[in-house]
Amino acid sequence: MADMQERLRGLPGVDTLLQSQAAEAMALAHGREATVNALRLALAEARAVILQGGVAPDADAILAAASHLAEQALQPTLRPVINATGVILHTNLGRAPLSAAVVAAMRHVAEGYSNLEYDLDEGRRGSRYVHAESLVCRLTGAEAALVVNNNAGAVLLALSALARDAEVVISRGQLVEIGGGFRIPDVMAQSGAKLVEVGTTNRTYARDYEAAISERTVALMRVHTSNFRIQGFTFQPTTADLAELAHSHGLLLLDDLGSGTLLDTAHYGLPHEPTVQESLAAGADLVTFSGDKLLGGPQAGLLVGRAAVIQRLREHPLTRALRVDKATLAGVQANLTHYVRMEAESEIPIWRMMSLTPERIAVEAQNVLDGLGNMAAGCELIPGQSMIGGGSLPEESLPTILLALPSSDADAIAATLRRGDPPVVARIQDGRVVLDLRTVAPEEVCYLARRLEQVLSPSR
């Protein structure tokens, strides 16, 4: 006990440590205040070691620990992770990873000045909203388009600009919560539009919409039920039926598609998601969708539709509040270029992942397994399902092959995988950690294999 007291008293004080060369260097790199804080923390750690009966670290060790702490405080909290969950659009893991061309375009524009709002022909102020527009229109058949910060913002903007103090008719089966507290009825309230609910949760007919139309109605709205499905005895009118009804009453049809795909998901063994082109062709006056769901690009919200409608949106003050930055616009444009060039499946990571067959994934998984050598004991390849995720294609999954780790300590193994650099996020299924290589980029597989070797080694 006396010994412990002595060791505690033997620790140097902050002032003494501050006079060392190491502390001076730290102060130059991190500033005096951060240095003092780091020294205090390192001293507190040293005290804790002594109180647990350990050996007192010397001044050099305390300074080294403080330097490490000061450096750690500068590490970004937002960092890359390896997604081995098999959830392709994992909202918590940042949704769509970007193609090399998209990243290059974003970097190119972010590094310097650009003609973001400058008309190079005329030598005067231009508009940032022209940049992705022609590509969006070319791909979707829309007359005009507008890109904003995200699709939640796009929906809020549309309702604010088109339906403030007026009525919008929507089916009870589509009053959805998208996640993160984004609920259609709340967004309506926020926009100042009055929600008129029709039909029932499972069945709504065109005549229900028609009966609800009053002289205060300005639009009918459709919301894609992106993240859940009502099954069984259900009915919803088609977009074309709703468009016809809306137009016969001089109203707009707004269609919030959510994931908004340009490609036919049926080609990937999934149910057919309504495409943006189809919604416009069916007569929707305005379609809203995300840039980072099935479009597979940077976070953005896209609004496409009739020129007169888009013009009203452009003039609304919210557009300024929701505007996208130059790097995002460059990325959206580059991502759309992949579709125009018909190379989405090979270039856009989420479409590449969607198109991987279980056989192909099994080959990758077997390679990882073979590389584990002795450590592979208890590991096996098992059939499983990859999820689309991200509020797209609810309940829908693609067959995959999972690399299942030994069936002990699943929580501990998963936690250890998360602590690596980069962290690996896996799934736990039936008490085992399982890894789905569908969502692991080819260049990440090597690191993942080495990491597994460490984690599974008995000396871990």
Residue nearest to ligand PLP (CB): 258
> DSSP string of 310-354?
HHHHHTSHHHHHTBPPHHHHHHHHHHHHHHHTT-HHHHSHHHHHH
Q: Is 381 helix (H, G, I), strand (E, B) or coil?
A: strand
Q: Select the span of 112-120, 238-246, 253-261, 372-380 touching ligand PLP (CB under 6 A).
A: 253-261
Residue 203: is it exposed, middle or buried by C-beta count within 10 angstroms (0-12/13-18/19+)?
middle
Asked whether the bond before 317 is cis by omega within 30 degrees of 0, the reply is: no
Among 301, 305, 384, 389, binds ligand PLP (CB under 6 A): 301
Contacts with ligand PLP by CB under 6 A: the residue count is 15
SS3 content of the chain, % helix, strand, coil (to 5): 50, 20, 35
From the list 167, 255, 256, 273, which residue makes contact with ligand PLP (rule: CB under 6 A)?
A: 256
Looking at the Cβ atoms of 185 and 383, the one nearer to ligand PLP is: 185
Q: Output the CA torsion 257→260→263→267 (10° steps).
A: -60
- Nearest approach, Cβ of residue 310 and ligand PLP (Å): 18
Site string for ligand PLP, 68-107 (x = CB under 6 A): ----------------------------------------
**CA count, 13 A, side-chain hemisphere, 33:** 0
Stretch that binds ligand PLP, among 45-53, 218-226, 320-328, 400-408 (CB under 6 A): 218-226
* Positive or negative: CA dihedral 423, 427, 433, 436: negative
The nearer residue to ligand PLP, 152 or 375, going by C-beta atoms, is 152
> Which stretch of DSSP H or E encloses residue 7?
helix 2-10
Region 22-51 residues binding ligand PLP, contact defined as CB under 6 A: none
Among 30, 131, 224, 438, binds ligand PLP (CB under 6 A): 224
Provide the minimum distance between the beta carbon of 149 and ligand PLP in the complex, in angstroms, as a whole number: 8
Cα-to-chain-centroid distance, residue 345: 19
Count other C-beta atoms under 10 Å from residue 23's C-beta: 22
Is 391 an interacting residue with respect to ligand PLP (CB under 6 A)? yes
CA distances from 8 to 90, 223, 336 (A): 49, 66, 64
In sequence order, the β-bridge partners of residue 290 are 301
Tell me how far apart the alpha carbons of residues 384 and 355 are, in angstroms, rounded to a whole number.
16
- Min. distance of Cβ 416 from ligand PLP in angstroms? 32
Residue 150 interacting with ligand PLP (CB under 6 A): yes
Near ligand PLP by CB under 6 A, which window of 17-25, 206-214, 219-227, 423-431? 219-227
Q: How far is the CB of 301 from ligand PLP (least distance, A)?
A: 5
Q: Which is nearer to ligand PLP, 35 or 204 (CB)?
A: 204
Query: Closer to ligand PLP at the Cβ: 169 or 223?
Result: 223
Tokens of 99: 């193609």
Q: Which of 63, 220, 223, 425 binds ligand PLP (CB under 6 A)?
A: 223
Build a one-symbol-per-residue string for 152-191: x at contacts with ligand PLP by CB under 6 A, - elsewhere: x--x----------------------x---x---------
Interacting positions 271-290 with ligand PLP (CB under 6 A): 290
What's the closest the beta carbon of residue 447 comes to ligand PLP, in angstroms?
30
Residue 324 engages ligand PLP in binding (rule: CB under 6 A)? no
Q: Is the dihedral of CA 418, 419, 424, 428 positive or negative?
A: negative
The two tokens of residue 298 are 């940077």
Q: Are 332 and 291 in contact (CB under 8 A)?
A: yes
Binding segment for ligand PLP (CB under 6 A), chosen from 109-117, 135-143, 146-154, 234-242, is: 146-154
Q: Kind of pairing, strands 167-171 and 217-223? A: parallel
Assigned token pair, 200: 């029932």
CB of 101 to ligand PLP, least distance (A): 22
b/e map 289-317, b = 16+ CB within 10 Å: bbbbbbbbbbbbbbbbbbeebbeebbebe
With contacts defined by CB under 6 A, name the span among 97-105, 148-156, 417-425, 441-449 that binds ligand PLP.
148-156
Binding site for ligand PLP (CB under 6 A): 150-152, 155, 178, 182, 223-224, 226, 256, 258-259, 290, 301, 391
